[in-house]
Chain A
Amino acid sequence: MSRDKGLLRIYKKTLLILGTLFLVWAPTAWLWAAEHGGEAAAHDGGAATKDLIARCINFGLMVIILFVVIRKSSMKDFFSSRRESIREKLDELKKGKELAENKVKELEQKLKAFEEEKKRILEQFKAEGIAEKERIIREAKERAKQILEQAEFTIQREMDAARGRLRQEVAELATKKAEEMISKEITDKDQEHLVSEFIDRVEKLH
Chain B
Amino acid sequence: MISSKISRRYAKALFGIGREDGNYETYGKCLEEFARFCGENENFFKVISSKIFSTEERIRVLEAVLAKSDFPDVVKNFLRVLLDKDRIGAISGIAQHYRKLTDEVSNITRANIITARPLKQEALEELKQGLEKLTGKTVVPDVSEDDSLIGGVVVKIGDMILDGSVRAQLEGLKESLKRGEYS
Contacts and interface: CB of A to CB of B under 8 A. Distances in A.
Interface residues of B, number: 30
Interface in B106-128: 115-117, 119-120, 123, 126-127
A182 B130 contact: no
Interface string B166-179: 11001101110110
B178 A206 contact: no
A206 B135 CA distance: 8
Contact of A201 (B115, B151, B164, B183): B164
B162 interface: yes
Contact of B170 (A167, A179, A196, A205): A179
Interface in B27-49: none
A175 B176 CA distance: 11
B119 A195 contact: yes
Interface stretch (A102-110, A124-132, A185-193): A185-193
A167 B178 contact: yes
Contacts of B166: 179, 182, 186, 194
Nearest to A170: B177
Contacts of A186: 150-151, 166
Interface residues of A, number: 28
A178 B170 contact: yes
Interface in A90-140: none
A194 B153 contact: yes
A168 to B, nearest CB: 5
A2 interface: no
A199 B134 contact: no
A178 B182 CA distance: 16
19 contacts: A167-B180, A171-B173, A171-B175, A172-B174, A174-B173, A174-B177, A175-B173, A179-B166, A182-B151, A188-B117, A191-B115, A194-B151, A195-B164, A198-B152, A198-B153, A198-B162, A199-B123, A201-B164, A205-B162
Given A171-B173, A195-B115, 15 more contacts: A174-B174, A174-B177, A182-B150, A186-B150, A190-B151, A194-B164, A195-B119, A195-B123, A198-B153, A199-B126, A199-B127, A199-B130, A202-B133, A202-B134, A203-B130
